[in-house]
Every structure is written in C-alpha cells, then in structure tokens.
Amino acid sequence: MRVMVVGAGLGGLTLAQGLRRAGIDVAVYERDGADGRPQGVSLHFDDRGAAALRACLPPAHLAIAEATMGAPRGQALALSEVDGELVVVGNRVLDGTAGRVPPGRQVSRRLLRAVLLAGLEDVVRFGAKFTHFEQRPDGTVQAWFADGSTDTADVLVGADGIGSGVRWQYLPQVQVYDTGKRMLMGASPLRAVADTGVPELIGDNPASAQIGTTMMAMGALRFQESPRAARDQWLPDLRSSAIDDAEDFLMWAVPVTQERLGAAATPAAIWRRTREVAADLPAVLRAVVDHAWPDLTVALRIGMIPPVPAWPSSQVTVIGDAIHAAPGFGGNLAMQDAHLLRDALVEVAQGRSEVRTAISEFEDAVRRNNAPALEPHP
C-alpha cells in the first residue's frame, strides 16, 4: 500500500512517521521549504499529542521529544495589577472539560517539527504545492503539483491545514470563516526577562492578564533537559537551529482584531505593533514584549470551521486543521487524527480491513473525538 500525504505540519509528519514505522510506503508533499512558515514558538501539548507520538515515533525520536518538553502544567493563572504590582488573582484547574484546554506541557514548536522531520528526508518533498487530484477507476488516486509533477497512491491524505486544497476539491461544502481575530505571538529569552519577576510569578503554568481592553497570555518553557544534550544522546545526526539555538523562553500572545493589527506584515513590524498594543499593560509585561526576539513574532489568523456533516468515505481523507480548527489545541487534534489514521491504514496493510471501511471508521472517530472542538464559537 502507498499513501500520499499533502502537508508536512504536525499532523502530516506524525502520520508519515507512524506509517513508515509500520512499514507502509509513504510520500509527503510540502508547499514550503524545510523550515516551514512561522506558526508561533510553542504549543500546549496534551495527552492526545503524547499518545500519538508514543504510537507513531521511533524510540529515539520519542525520547528526545519527551526530554525537551516543559514541566507539567495543571492550572491556568489569572493575573492582574494590584497597587501597581502584577499578582495572581485567580486560578483554574486545566481539566479539559467543556472543550477547555486539558493539562499538558509546553513544547517548542520548531523543535518538535525538527524531531518529526528527522529520518523522513527521503520521503518529504519540499517546494511541492499540491494543486488537484483525480480518483481513478482502478481505485488509486493521482495528485498534481504546481511544478507539473504528479504522483499516484492508494490513499491521499490532506494534512494541509485550514486552507486545505485537498478539502477544497474533495469537500467543497465545508465553510471556513475568518473570525477577524489575529493572535500576536512571540517569545522572549527567559534570561532577559528574569528581572521582571514574571517567570517566577507564573512558574510553569499558563497565565493571562486582562488589563482594560488588552489581554496578554503567557507561559514559560524551561526545557526539562538541554535540547543539545538530548540530541547528542538520542539523535546525534539531527542538525537543526531549533536545537542548536534553543534556550528557555517566555512565550506571550496578545489577541487583536485585524483592524487593530493594521498593515504590519513582517515579523519586525508585527513586533513593533505588539509593543504599541501592549502600551496599556503593566510595565513588567511591556518589558517582556520589549525583550522579545523580533524575528520570531507572528500574527496568526484565527479561522473557524463549523461542524461538517458526515460524507461518503473514499480513498481520500483529511486530518487536522484541514477539517477542524481549534486554535488552543488543534495541534494535539492533528496528531491524534494522524495516530487514528495510521492505526486504520495498518489494518488495511495487514489485510484485516478494506481502504474505504478503514477510512470511514477513522472519519467517524474523528467526528466523535472532536465534537467539543467543533462547536461553533460564541
């Protein structure tokens, strides 16, 4: 069996690792270059992502991924300014109920992606923009790419994010909405912001401060083990600036409307805009933004996909943001989808199921698992 995956994001790469580990022939086609486009520095990583990595990654990859996570995070803190000082005024247990974020750990997005890519160099083709596919009478699927090249496989998986071209052709009824909200996200070296007192105040917990109309969410990533030491121990051949340059940091995020963001487009311009937006915040939070790495600052678009009624299954399917957008935990859902699909395709490869049946069962499971995330936003 041969599987084509469009998109080398968290979902596509987890799936590719899992298929390869099970001895299934897989090819990944990625529009961007090996570094990908900036998607923010860190992720809150929960049990769904952890289970997917355990099932899909080779032992050394899993070991480095686990060793380089932050400490467990069990509660979210609310911060406010009292008598001119930033203090904790409330906390909420992270329990995953009612579509809320479950407990987890902070991970470096770039580092995780570098680990997911390791060992797949011969199956991932960068600079390959998917354009369209055709389902052929013999049960295979042919895909075309912008450079005119084409490939054929038994299964085509759209892991190509919220703007998915695979979904656009396969499920044209799916609506994607731009909420008009943007998340300004960046990170500051922990050493540079230690004297603000913020890292000590929040520990390893996610925290947010609402001051007037401006909100800032933040979280520290203190690598449990040095990424370079973990690399040397587990994957000594892995070369990545995400590991070479890694140091503990404080990530921060400030939601704004597109109007408030304005025309800022480059990382440096977005960082400057964030400093202006943060002008209402307490001095210690302004200092956190001031000390950020400007080139890691991004403005992420917040999109929404309303629940999609079941469709007839075929040898084409979609995972992750391509079918359900969940800004706070969509990466975990994408990895969970990859895990489920990998298990379903192993059943096919081992002769215990047939492609359409396996994909149909996988899609039912995705709809069940993601039901809370699929609730329309208020």
Ligand X SMILES: Cc1cc2nc3c(=O)[nH]c(=O)nc-3n(C[C@H](O)[C@H](O)[C@H](O)COP(=O)(O)OP(=O)(O)OC[C@H]3O[C@@H](n4cnc5c(N)ncnc54)[C@H](O)[C@@H]3O)c2cc1C
* Binding footprint of ligand X on the chain (CB under 6 A): 6-12, 29-32, 36, 39-40, 43-44, 129-130, 159-161, 165, 183, 185, 300, 302, 320-322, 327-332, 334
Please name the amino acid found at residue 99.
Answer: G
Kindly tell me which of 287 and 319 has the beta carbon lying closer to ligand X: 319
Per 3-state DSSP, the chain is made up of helix, strand and coil in percentages (nearest 5) of 40, 30, 35
CA separation for the pair 107, 84 (Å, rounded): 32
- Say if strands 75-82 and 85-93 run parallel, antiparallel, or are unpaired: antiparallel
Least distance from ligand X to the Cβ atom of residue 137, Å:
25
Say if residues 6 and 156 touch (Cβ distance below 8 Å): yes
Least distance from ligand X to the Cβ atom of residue 226, Å:
23
Kindly tell me which of 9 and 18 has the beta carbon lying closer to ligand X: 9
Kindly tell me which of 7 and 227 has the beta carbon lying closer to ligand X: 7
Nearest to 154 by CA among 308, 358, 312, 365: 358
Both tokens of 262, joined, read 């304005």
Least distance from ligand X to the Cβ atom of residue 238, Å:
19
Kindly tell me which of 189 and 328 has the beta carbon lying closer to ligand X: 328
> How many secondary structure helices (H) and strands (E) does the chain include?
15, 18
Least distance from ligand X to the Cβ atom of residue 63, Å:
21
Least distance from ligand X to the Cβ atom of residue 215, Å:
13
CA separation for the pair 367, 183 (Å, rounded): 27
User: Any idea which residue has 């247990």 for tokens?
Assistant: 93
Q: Residue 346: count other Cβ atoms within 10 Å of its Cβ.
A: 19
Could you give the C-alpha distances from 77 to 41, 91, 235, in angstroms and in order? 20, 4, 36
Kindly tell me which of 20 and 44 has the beta carbon lying closer to ligand X: 44
Kindly tell me which of 30 and 363 has the beta carbon lying closer to ligand X: 30
Least distance from ligand X to the Cβ atom of residue 222, Å:
17
